[in-house]
A = this chain, B = another copy of it.
Amino acid sequence: MNFMQKQDASSRNAVRPGRPRSVATQEAILAASLRLTERVGYAQLTIEGIAAEAGVGKQTVYRWWPSKAAVVLEAFARDARAVVKVRVTGNLEIDLEKFLIAAYRRLTGPRGVVFRSLLSEALINSDFAQQFYDEYLQSRVDDLKTVLSSGANEAEGFEVPAELVEMIYGAIWYRMATNQKLTPAAARQVAAAAVNLLRET
């Protein structure tokens, strides 16, 4: 769960001597990392800056996270857990379109900047890519698969083809890296294509 942090939950939750970890401080750091990423951009984001923004010592950040990417990932994933929702009605066309439009919209605006930052890091740091997948992307993939397989509930043991997920989410990332807006229209086109592909199978 907390493998992004230097000490995992089990050892932290055990009763230990000394002053306990400050939850308020931890949350100040996570909030500051989101705020700063959105304000100045990931390249300009520094651990020093996060600490200052959170009103915290640098050491305190280093004690719990190994890098700025780890801090931002935890902050982003925690935020997503509270936000992302899946509704399935049984009508694949409508469900998928709604799901994708929501996803495209979520990634427009401030949080999109943070997401691009994480994706950017994942591309050049394979350890982080794994953490990014486990901490955040896995859940989104599960969400998508839930939607995609809801229309195929008659066929037991149906498995969503991997390349379909790759192509649907990949299409978002393509637009992100090519300066194109994540419009509802774009979402709709991808949704329609995905439905076509799924019917084919």
Contacts and interface: CB of A to CB of B under 8 A. Distances in A.
Interface of A: 41-43, 116-117, 119-126, 129-130, 132-133, 137, 161-179, 186, 189-190, 193, 196-197, 200
B193 A167 contact: yes
A196 B172 CA distance: 21
Contact of A177 (B41, B43, B119, B193): B119
The secondary-structure label for the interface of chain A is helix
A176 B169 CA distance: 12
Contacts of A43: 124-125
A130 B177 CA distance: 9
A12 to B, nearest CB: 21
B176 A123 contact: yes
Contacts of A42: 124
A179 B129 contact: yes
Contact of A166 (B41, B121, B175): B175
Nearest to A133: B178
Contacts of A129: 177-179
A96 to B, nearest CB: 14
Contact of A200 (B116, B189, B196): B196
Contact of A174 (B120, B169, B186, B197): B169
A193 B123 contact: no
Contact of A173 (B116, B133, B174, B186): B174
Contacts of A178: 122, 129, 132-133, 137
Nearest to A127: B179
Contacts of A137: 178
A28 to B, nearest CB: 19
Which of A116, A129, A132, A173 counts the most B-chain CB atoms under 10 A from its CB?
A173
**Closest 5 interchain pairs by CB?**
A170-B170, A170-B174, A167-B167, A166-B171, A120-B123
B174 A124 contact: no
